[in-house]
Amino acid sequence: MAAVQLVSALGRRAMCRWTAAGDRARERVPSAGHIRQSFVCYFRDKQRHREVRSAPVIPRGDPSLLLVNAGMNQFKPILLGTVDPRSPMAQYQRVVNSQKCVRAGGKHNDLEDVGRDLYHHTFFEMLGNWSFGDYFKEEACRMAWELLTEVYDIPQDRLYVTFFGGDPALGLTADEETKEIWLSIGVHPHHLLPFGLAHNFWEMGEMGPCGPCTEIHYDHGVGKGAAAQVNTGNPQLVEIWNLVFMQYSREADGSLHCLPQRSVDTGMGLERLVAVLQGKESNYDTDLFTPILDAIHRGSKAPPYRGLVGDMDPDMIDRAYRVLADHIRALTICIADGLYPGMTGAALVLRRILRRAVRYSVEVLQAPPGFLAGLVPTVLEILGDAYPELKQDPCQIMDTINENEAAFLSSLHRGRRVIDRTLQKMDNSQSFPVDVAWSLHRNLGFPLDLVSLMLEEKAVIMDTEALGQLAKEEAERLRPLPQSDLQPDRVLCIQDISELQRTGVPRTDDSAKYIYKLQDGKYVLSPCQATVVALYDNNSLVKEVGQSQTCGVILDQTNFYSEQGGQTHDLGYFVREGHQDVLLPVVNVQAAGGFVIHTVSVPESLHVGDRIDLFVNEAHRLACMVKHTATHLLNYALRCVLGDHTEQRGSHITADRLRFDYNIRTPVTGQQLETVEEIVRDVICRDEHVYTADVPLNQVNCIRGLRSIDEVYPDPVRVVSVGVPVEQLLHSSDKQHTSVELCCGTHLLRTGMIQDLVIVSERQLGKGISRILAITGEEAKEARELGRILAEEVDSLSLRLDNGMKSLVDSQRLSKEIGQLTDVVDGAVILHRDRRQLQERLRALHRTANTAIRKLESRETISLGLWTATLCKDGYIWEEGKSPEYGLGGHSNTATS
């Protein structure tokens, strides 16, 4: 009844463009684009949800994930309660989006299944609606049902709904509330089924928010008896939508606690929904895939796709079609988001996807090299409107695929030779050595099933269990670190934050961290006094801590910088009012949910309510400020030299050095790095003003040339501009030739204090990503000086080499010295280009020394040989294998004849 009222009140036809297109759309079969859009439109326009863009597939600051695998990933800070209250995310209550997801590594790994059946994918789109402390079960179920049955017009009798049937062992009762809601909506009791923990209880990870879920399944055509087929793996009865009710938090000890704020997290696979609405049983028969399958047919000359699986597809042609269609979508999405095939973590996952695709393309479909990359434009036609970032640089996506394909094809060739050579050495009864198979996988990047297939072709057996064990060990190594291993000192978890909120602890005002001035050429930080508002002893909130303890301290205000934006936290100490002689060292500062927590060593006691004087270690802070402003200049200079496509991929700033990761298309040359340094030094010499201002988020987009990274910024957001006042930036439509970034870090007020910047190391982290380490100020000067000293050492060695290669002993000593100096040069903090030059010169010296040593050795051996031969003539015999190694080989014959 309620559903009917809801629908009639809002007017079904007015609800959404898709329905407005009504019958016309149904006649034509709705396109995937239309279905995606109508989902968003329903929740945005009718249910007042905020539309949020898909996050990139590289997780934002979440080391527990390899790749984004669910719509809720980007909203984790809200669910965990750690969201910065100034972030627009903190205001989210109702959200809708379509999220790019990849499940090909880690907990959800579908890679090897893709292609074998009609429904597994590595890349898929997850449609979702969220309520963060807003509506809960009743509204979530009603909205889902209305959308499916009223907007998309899916017949109700095709739908089956599951709910959580309880788990007595965990003390969890059945979710009767959800069951009653569905019954009141009108779901037939025979279509409503209870399931246990495995199917109907959703957990984000080993710890954290979780709760019962209710799933909606679609019957493609089982008909009678379909209820018994739900959750049995029957491909005709598929789950299409999962509605999770986050109401608990799983603790480290396994217990469940009620969450302070209940949330709804729903996820519906677009591919499955499109299959339902386009009347297809296979996702691959929808317009999300058919244009790619057609392109494969046109380009490879393989027989047309027939949609067959298993024994019906003995030559694996259809499997290959599906593998390619799926993998090219994943490759395009991941590479566009800045991921490159590599050897670790997510990059390794992408490498495997690429190699699997190449293998099926070349080996099964016998397509020419370059064919795979040629499918990218078709992917852009299908997904480019929904995810415009794909259209930014398609050539780069194709180049990356082509380069990696070429590398794999050459390893394939080498791999075959390795297998053939190994087989030649084996007798027929032996099984193929597992270490060789593993090395093909690990070093030449062969997918494991390819190794097995190649051996199968040659009718050779292998200990697959042992190989599986090695794979398991590697998977263990790849497993992201558990959160507990990643947390430095005291951090606040969701329970802490909700407890702080509940007990009325005020959020920390840390605006004083930005208050400092230049006085007589020196930076002076503002003094700060504060009151202790909360204390943690281990994991408990306490009123006081005793002597010699390390505890977590929350103050009403602080001028300490907490770790964020790549900049390390401040160090320093507290002093209790009236106890001026006792310092309380601050060793870590972290922020979460608007609270700043200081990890402090307490030599005497400390109480809630104590007044504290705060002393930030100024030298440490200033060094971080120098490095942070220098990082912005480096970012700007790299873009000037390498081009506008250069994007920051990460950074880390400590008092000693700065680290900057960025994307590259081709390896960076020494000359380019030198120009980068020159540009930075030029800005340093001009001693430019560094302007900062808080600007509403919706205004920053008009600043041309603004640098930002993929992060959720607070509103208002801090803009840091070198040389041009922020006001001026906001009122100018010209592109600014200076560094302008969104950044929460602490910066110098003028660039001169950086003094100098040198790049001490540059190396490629993986394909397409480079990492620079740089130092500044006095350290930079010292690095130049050390470079000069080491160059003199190399000069002197070179001179001694010219003069001192008379005897074998001398030469060997010089060679050893060259080795020692090489070690020093390798490890010294000197300019990157100096190191390169010195290493090159040392290599040349090594070659010269070794040649000389060989000659001298051979001379000595020859004289030894002549001497020994003389002995032979006199009755001694050559011992086997002791004939002279170098030079006149005829001696032995002469001697033995």
Sites of contact with ligand SER (CB under 6 A): 70-72, 128, 202, 242, 244, 265-267
| 75 or 691: CB nearest ligand SER | 75
Query: In angstroms, what CA-CA distances link 859 with 124, 801, 865, 867, 886?
Result: 70, 19, 10, 12, 8
Find, among 609, 620, 461, the residue nearest to 543 by Cα.
609
Q: Are 610 and 637 in contact (CB under 8 A)?
A: no
| 104 or 505: CB nearest ligand SER | 104
**Which residue's CB atom is positioned nearest to ligand SER?**
267
| 72 or 856: CB nearest ligand SER | 72
| 65 or 633: CB nearest ligand SER | 65
In whole angstroms, what is the distance from residue 574 CA to residue 545 CA? 15
Which residues touch 23 (CB under 8 Å, ≥6 apart)? none
Which residues touch 24 (CB under 8 Å, ≥6 apart)? none
φ/ψ region of 758 (left if φ > 0, alpha if ψ in -120 to 50, else beta) reads beta
| 124 or 305: CB nearest ligand SER | 124
| 237 or 571: CB nearest ligand SER | 237
Q: How far is the CB of 146 from ligand SER (least distance, A)?
A: 19
Q: Are 600 and 551 in contact (CB under 8 A)?
A: yes
| 55 or 821: CB nearest ligand SER | 55
| 67 or 348: CB nearest ligand SER | 67
Q: How far is the CB of 193 from ligand SER (least distance, A)?
A: 18
Q: How far is the CB of 101 from ligand SER (least distance, A)?
A: 8
| 215 or 285: CB nearest ligand SER | 215
Q: How far is the CB of 281 from ligand SER (least distance, A)?
A: 22
Q: How far is the CB of 147 from ligand SER (least distance, A)?
A: 15
| 18 or 202: CB nearest ligand SER | 202
Q: How far is the CB of 242 from ligand SER (least distance, A)?
A: 4
Q: How far is the CB of 130 from ligand SER (least distance, A)?
A: 9
Q: How far is the CB of 18 from ligand SER (least distance, A)?
A: 22
Q: How far is the CB of 316 from ligand SER (least distance, A)?
A: 31
| 150 or 265: CB nearest ligand SER | 265
Q: How far is the CB of 261 from ligand SER (least distance, A)?
A: 17
Q: How far is the CB of 70 from ligand SER (least distance, A)?
A: 4
The H or E element that residue 209 is part of is strand 208-219
Query: In angstroms, what CA-CA distances link 367 with 332, 357, 767?
Result: 19, 11, 25
Q: How far is the CB of 134 from ligand SER (least distance, A)?
A: 16
Q: Are 772 and 759 in contact (CB under 8 A)?
A: yes
Tokens of 134: 């807003």
Return the beta strands (E) in 732-840 as ranges: 740-742, 757-766, 769-776
In whole angstroms, what is the distance from residue 576 CA to residue 532 CA? 10
In whole angstroms, what is the distance from residue 590 CA to residue 862 CA? 71
Sign (positive or negative) of CA dihedral 795, 801, 804, 810: positive
| 163 or 561: CB nearest ligand SER | 163
Tokens of 397: 């996506």
Query: Tokens 């959703």 appear where?
Result: 202
Query: Percentage helix, strand, coil, to 5, in the chain?
Result: 45, 20, 35
Which residues touch 311 (CB under 8 Å, ≥6 apart)? none
Q: Are 751 and 690 in contact (CB under 8 A)?
A: yes
In whole angstroms, what is the distance from residue 399 CA to residue 644 CA? 18
Q: What are phi and psi of 743, to 5 degrees?
A: -160, 140
The H or E element that residue 893 is part of is helix 890-896
Q: How far is the CB of 128 from ligand SER (least distance, A)?
A: 5
| 68 or 722: CB nearest ligand SER | 68
What is the CB neighbour count within 10 angstroms for residue 222?
Answer: 16
Which residues touch 417 (CB under 8 Å, ≥6 apart)? none
| 153 or 203: CB nearest ligand SER | 203
In whole angstroms, what is the distance from residue 102 CA to residue 332 CA? 12
In whole angstroms, what is the distance from residue 69 CA to residue 458 CA? 38
Query: Tokens 């694996």 appear where?
Result: 316
Rounded to 10 degrees, the C-alpha dihedral 297/301/307/313 comes to -160
Q: How far is the CB of 356 from ligand SER (least distance, A)?
A: 24
In whole angstroms, what is the distance from residue 512 CA to residue 414 CA? 62
What is the SS3 assignment for 92?
coil
